[in-house]
Amino acid sequence: MILHEDSRSGNCFKIRLTAAHLGIPLEFRNYDVMKGETRTTEFLAQVNGNGRIPVLQDGDLFLPESNAACFYLADGSDLIPAARFGRADMLRWMFWEQYNHEPNIATLRFWVAFVGEDKLTSLQRQLLSAKREAGEAALALMERHLAERDWLVGDAISLADIALYAYTHVAAGGGFALSQYPAVSLWLDRVAGHPRHVPMNTDTPLAARHQQV
Amino acid sequence: MILHEDSRSGNCFKIRLTAAHLGIPLEFRNYDVMKGETRTTEFLAQVNGNGRIPVLQDGDLFLPESNAACFYLADGSDLIPAARFGRADMLRWMFWEQYNHEPNIATLRFWVAFVGEDKLTSLQRQLLSAKREAGEAALALMERHLAERDWLVGDAISLADIALYAYTHVAAGGGFALSQYPAVSLWLDRVAGHPRHVPMNTDTPLAARHQQV
Q: Are residues A89 and B63, on separate chains, in Cβ contact within 8 Å?
A: yes
- Residues in A closer than 8 angstroms to B144, CB to CB, are 49
Q: Are residues A91 and B67, on separate chains, in Cβ contact within 8 Å?
A: yes
Please check the confidence at residue A93 and state whether its pLDDT lies above 50: yes
Interface test with B, best of A52, A58, A70, A99 (most B CBs within 10 A): A99
Q: Are residues A85 and B92, on separate chains, in Cβ contact within 8 Å?
A: no
CA A190 to centroid of chain Cα atoms = 17
CA distance B172 to chain A (A): 23
| Alpha carbon distance B125, B120 (integer Å) | 6
CB A84 within 8 A of CB A69: no
For residue A174, give the nearest of A133, A146, A143 by alpha carbon.
Answer: A133
CA distance B160 to chain A (A): 12
CA distance A208 to chain B (A): 31
Percentage of chain A exceeding pLDDT 90: 93
Q: Where does B63-170 have alpha helices with state H? A: 66-74, 84-96, 107-109, 122-146, 159-168
Bridging pattern class, strands A61-64 and A55-58 = antiparallel
What's A42-60 look like in SS3? HHHHHCCCCCCCCEEEECC
CA distance B49 to chain A (A): 7
Beta bridge partners of A61: A58
Please check the confidence at residue B208 and state whether its pLDDT lies above 80: no
Q: Are residues B87 and A75, on separate chains, in Cβ contact within 8 Å?
A: yes
Q: Are residues A68 and B61, on separate chains, in Cβ contact within 8 Å?
A: no
Average pLDDT for chain B: 95
CB B73 within 8 A of CB B56: yes
CB A204 within 8 A of CB A8: yes
A132: helix, strand or coil? helix
Q: Are residues B126 and A126, on separate chains, in Cβ contact within 8 Å?
A: yes
**Whole-Å CA distances, A47 to A18, A37, B66:** 21, 12, 28
CA distance B189 to chain A (A): 24
Interface test with B, best of A72, A91, A121 (most B CBs within 10 A): A91
- Residues in A closer than 8 angstroms to B65, CB to CB, are 91-92, 95-96, 99
What is this structure's pTM? 0.96
Closest residue to A98, CB basis, from B99, B123, B130: B99
CA A213 to centroid of chain Cα atoms = 26
Identify the pLDDT of residue A212.
42
ipTM score assigned to the predicted complex: 0.96
Closest residue to B72, CB basis, from A64, A88, A99: A88
Bridging pattern class, strands A61-64 and B2-5 = unpaired
Please check the confidence at residue A150 and state whether its pLDDT lies above 80: yes
Q: Which residue of A has its CA nearest to B126?
A: A123
For the segment B28-58, what is each residue's pLDDT rounded down to a tens digit?
999 998 899 999 999 999 999 999 999 999 9
Please check the confidence at residue A213 and state whether its pLDDT lies above 60: no
CB B104 within 8 A of CB B164: no
B177: helix, strand or coil? coil
Closest residue to A71, CB basis, from B91, B100, B102: B91
For the segment B139-185, what is each residue's pLDDT rounded down to a tens digit?
999 999 999 999 999 999 999 999 999 999 999 999 999 999 999 99
| Alpha carbon distance A134, B40 (integer Å) | 18
Closest residue to A63, CB basis, from B89, B99, B103: B89
In sequence order, which residues have a C-beta less than 8 Å from that of residue B193 and are 6 or more positions away? none
Please check the confidence at residue B211 and state whether its pLDDT lies above 60: no
Return phi, psi of residue B116, to 5°. 100, 130
